[in-house]
Structure 1
Amino acid sequence: MKRVVITGLGALTPIGNNVNDFWESLVNGVSGAAPITKFDTTKFKTKFACELKDFNPLDYIEKSEARKYDLFTQYALISVEEAIQNAEINFDNLNKNRIGVIWGSGNGGIGTFQEQLMEFAKGDGTPRFNPYFIPKMIVDIASGVISIKYGLRGINYTTVSACATSNTAIIDAFNYIRWGKADMIITGGSEAPINETSVGGFNASKALSTLNDTPEIASRPFDVNRDGFVMGEGAGAIILESYEHAISRNAPIIAEIVGGGMAADAYHLTGTHPEGEGAYLGMLAALEDAEISIDQIDYINTHATSTPQGDNSELKAVERVFGRENHLNISATKSMTGHLLGAAGAIEAIACIKAVQNNIVPPTINSVEIEPAFKDIFNLTLGKAQEKEINYAMSNTFGFGGHIATTIFKKFSEE
């Protein structure tokens, strides 16, 4: 099978509106959590989130175009354009029939859905819907719009596996390229969930933190005092292409993707298996796919959303795979970005790729009183970044419904 390399990255996150700013904030332990500005939270249990900062979509997209797209599609387009620029791609010189888009989103145009239904509810029952309502809302539209913008006629679809979504998209893209079905695929994910519907819904399921007085420290993975996740928004884009294709166009190769594993908890609608059964199987599958041993993994970016059961079950699974004696660095970058739901896997993959590229492990911030069962087993990279030779990095993502997706990235070498 073909080798698959990463040649471009794009990020739009609560702690940076491009890859460089995102990475710098990660390394410096910046929290993206703050009071919600997008709607009146007076009657909501949770009043904060990780919103984008100093962001105006019209700085990137023409107003006439922006009105056709939900925010999640706008976020996708912006991150993809950065990735394409960084990858130094001129599509006119490439076979567009062999270039695809596999994009992920958990909620799609939920903001548009809310807006249109609320408008309808306020009326007299006459169905006066925006003609763009359906194409703005449907979850597959971002991948379609990306392909239309650049004239890409290869593989094109959207993955949905809740919070494992964009890792699933990355694995699919990886597979299609190494099987020889595409030369290049734009992959990643985007999410725009900071609205009444999403926040109210997650509040109802008791998934969100309610630490309203100190939101900047609310996301505290592995800490015994954690009380739920902090919602985030944004997008991450990754350009994957075959090694041969990248070399033929003299592309800047950042890293290599070498493994992907998927599994299921088969346990509960929203809760993870208490022993991390799916996580264990997903990590094993990724290691087997990459054909590497457990001692070759240097860093794991954990799913670690800062929920009581979820964090513990993941660390149980990590212990089961890697043992109590290990040289791992582990961190939970959601402590800084919040949880971007379907886009989480994309920005956390970027965190892994940058870690491999720069030999720096981003930290876990806010976590002080670590779960006793794990504080002496793992290096959770608490408080500040750590320099370390990183040859292989693993990224875990899990989703409601028991979905598991794990990817493994490798430092690039010609061999």
Structure 2
Amino acid sequence: MPRSPQHPRGGRRVVVTGQGTINALGRSAPETRAAMREGRLGIGPLAFQDVDRLSIQIGGQIRGYDPEAHFSRQELTLFDPFTQFALLAAREAVAASGVTFADPGRAGVVLGTSGGGLQTQDENYRLVYQEAKNRVHPLVVPRLMNNAAASQISMDMKIEGPTYTVATACASSNHAMGQAFQLIRSGMADVVLTGGAEAMLCFGGIKAWEGLRVMSRDGCRPFSLNRNGMVQGEGAAVFVFEALEHALARGANIIAEVTGFAMTSDASDIVTPNREGAVRAMRGALADAGLAGEAVGYINAHGTGTTVNDKTECAAVREVFGAHADRLMISSTKSMHGHLIGGTGAVELIACLMALEEGVIAPTIGYELPDPDCDLDVVPNVAREARVDAVMTNAFAFGGLNAVLVLQAWR
């Protein structure tokens, strides 16, 4: 694209100037990228109260995490783990970007989460129903509310513009990042901190998902014929989205450009994905970016490791990209860090930025047997060096809600 501040489809251009994360693969964006390059497994045995009562005992848990190393005791009375993760990721992203909020009303925060303060809920249900306590801490509601992380970031950074939370199950962070893109593109904000956070790895969080019978007991193997379900993860990733002219004016390092976004509803089934809904979302994101399918070199797949998701997504990719589907690279990093539900698209965006900036495609690890219904190049087990100029990231959520982003290299 020419270096005009205007997006060719209308509105301002939007770039990414900072990234931060904490997840099962790393405590920072550089650590996470290194783990993705190495194809490292972040999934292992879970460790928390009553885990022995669960049928599913593995997950992408953040090992050795000490909240008191990052937050005061007073802060921890207010911060559920999902908020802690979001704050750590946001602080890293802002520091890496070098952005300041001189005009706080022109900055915003848009985060995705599905469960919000689920660990706070879990602990307090235990107190009330198991231990028969008649009181809970007076700050339980501010800890567990879904907007807690977004609000705490806005207070931490003194951001006074549009700040809110999106909750659309597994598509939450893709929806949030798409909304951030649109806020800047439309002129409502100059800078938005965006991404997602989730901390569902607790007894209640796993037990609820067990009931769906979509969880694997031994590992996440997206697209592999012997896959047997998804594996949950936890953590957060936050990015600095910025208007191009704002970034250029302060001499920011630009990682990539966000160029397209689309969202659709299947309007068909609460849990089973619909191929046509995914097709419309991918086509819509390409149209919004002004790109032909042939321009995309890599797709970060939703790729949960369930049979119905993987087959549906692969069929949708084939329909959208036609013959080019055979030349596309498509991988699922959930095989490494697990499915962070409302935060998953945010962590996966790190793989997209790595592809555009470093020319390294994160692999789908755990791949063992080819599936004729998933006969795409899934970058099995080993990362690959390949220059790509445009990438797509997919999120297809329970409820039939789809959110797809397209990003392009900044060269």
> Which of 191, 203, 215 is matched with 1:184 structurally?
191
Is the Cα contact below 8 Å between 2:48 and 2:203 reproduced in 1?
no
167-176 vs 113-122, greater mean Cα deviation: 113-122
* SS of the residue 1:364 aligns to: coil
Conserved 8 A contact 2:314-2:373: no
Q: Secondary structure at the match of 1:11?
A: strand
Partner of 2:308: 309
- Further displaced range: 167-176 or 34-43: 34-43
The counterpart of 2:217, out of the listed 207, 210, 213, is 210
Return the alpha-carbon distance in structure 2 between the equivalents of residues 15 and 125 of structure 1: 38
**Contact preservation (8 Å) 1:15, 1:53:** no
* Structure 1 residue 151 corresponds to structure 2 residue 152: no
Q: What secondary structure, in the 3-state scheme, does the structure 1 residue paired with 2:317 have?
A: helix
Match of 2:344 in 1: 344
Deviation of residue 122 (structure 1)?
Answer: 3.4
Which residue of the partner structure matches residue 106 of structure 1? Answer: 114
Q: CA RMSD in A?
A: 1.2
Report the Cα distance in structure 2 between the residues aligned to 1:325 and 1:257, rounded to whole angstroms. 22
SS in 2 for 1:164: helix
Q: Indicate which of 112, 117, 137 corresponds to 2:144.
A: 137
Match of 1:272 in 2: 273
- Rounded Cα–Cα distance in structure 1 between residues aligned with 2:399 and 2:297: 29
**TM superposition score normalised by structure 1:** 0.94
Change (3 A) 1:89 1:124: same
Q: What do the CA deviations read for 1:115-166 (whole angstroms, capped 9, x no partner)?
A: 112111135573x111110010110111111111111110111001100000
Given the alignment of the two structures, is residue 194 of structure 1 paired with residue 204 of structure 2, yes or no?
no
Counterpart-to-counterpart distance in 2, 1:139 and 1:148: 16
Q: Which residue of 1 aligns with 2:226?
A: 225
User: Any residues of structure 2 matched to 1:70-109 within 5 Å, and which?
Assistant: 70-91=80-101, 94-109=102-117
2:123 is aligned with 1:115: yes
Query: Could you tell me which residue of structure 1 aligns to residue 37 of structure 2?
Result: 27
Cα distance in structure 2, aligned partners of 1:76 and 1:401: 25
Q: CA shift at 1:346, angstroms?
A: 0.4
Which residue in 1 is equivalent to 2:392?
394
CA shift digits 1:246-303 (9 cap, x unpaired): 1111111111100011011222111212xx1111111001001000000000000000
The residue type paired with residue 334 of structure 2 is: K
1:178 Cα shift? Answer: 0.6
Q: Which runs of 5+ in 1 are unaligned?
A: 212-217
Partner of 1:243: 244
Output the amino acid matched with 1:407: L
Confirm or deny that 1:58 pairs with 2:68. yes
Residues in 1 aligned to 2:73 and 2:312: alpha-carbon distance in whole angstroms: 45
- Alignment partner, residue 214 of structure 1: none
What are the superposed Cα offsets for residues 171-203 of structure 1, whole Å, 9 maximum, x if unpaired? 000001010110100000000000111111111
Counterpart of 2:289 in structure 1: which amino acid? A
Output the CA distance in 1 between the equivalents of 2:123 and 2:132: 16
1:254-403 alignment runs, 5 A limit = 254-273=255-274, 276-326=275-325, 327-375=327-375, 378-403=376-401
**Counterpart amino acid of residue 388 in structure 1:** A
CA contact (8 A) 2:150 2:165 kept: yes
Task: Single out whichever of 264-273 and 173-182 deviates more from structure 2.
Answer: 264-273
Question: In the alignment, is the contact (CA less than 8 A) between 2:294 and 2:324 conserved in 1?
Answer: no
SS of the residue corresponding to residue 258 of structure 1 reads strand
CA distance in 2, matches of 1:39, 1:324: 50
Q: In 2, distance between residues paired with 1:397 and 1:4?
A: 20
Counterpart residue type for residue 361 of structure 1: I
Q: Is the 8 A contact 1:333 1:363 kept in 2?
A: yes
Structure 2 counterpart of 1:173: 180
Deviations 1:346-379 (A, max 9, x none): 011121012100011111111111211333xx21
How many angstroms apart in 2 are the aligned matches of 1:35 and 1:111?
A: 18
**Greater CA deviation, 297-306 or 63-72?**
63-72
One-letter amino acid of the counterpart of residue 7, structure 1: T
CA distance in 1, matches of 2:351, 2:318: 22
Contact in 2 for aligned 1:301/1:396 (Cα 8 Å): yes
Q: TM-score, normalised by structure 2?
A: 0.95
Q: One-letter code of the match for 2:181?
A: F
- CA distance in 2 between counterparts of 1:365 and 1:132 reads 41
In structure 2, C-alpha distance between the alignment counterparts of 1:63 and 1:105, rounded to whole Å: 24
Q: Per the alignment, in what secondary structure is the counterpart of residue 192 of structure 2?
A: strand
Q: Distance in 2 between matches of 1:118 and 1:39?
A: 11
Identity between Structure 1 and Structure 2 (%) = 34
Instruction: After superposition, give the CA deviation of every residue in 1:202-251 in whole Å (9 maximum; x if it has no partner).
Output: 1111021022xxxxxx1100112111101100000010010011111111
The gaps in structure 2 that reach 5 residues or longer are 1-10
One-letter code aligned to 1:2: R
1:89 deviates by: 2.2
Q: Partners of 1:57 and 1:84 in 2: how far apart?
A: 20
Find the aligned partners of 2:65 and 2:18 in 1 and give their Cα distance: 22
Number of equivalenced pairs? 400
The 2-side partners of 1:252 and 1:61 are apart by 29
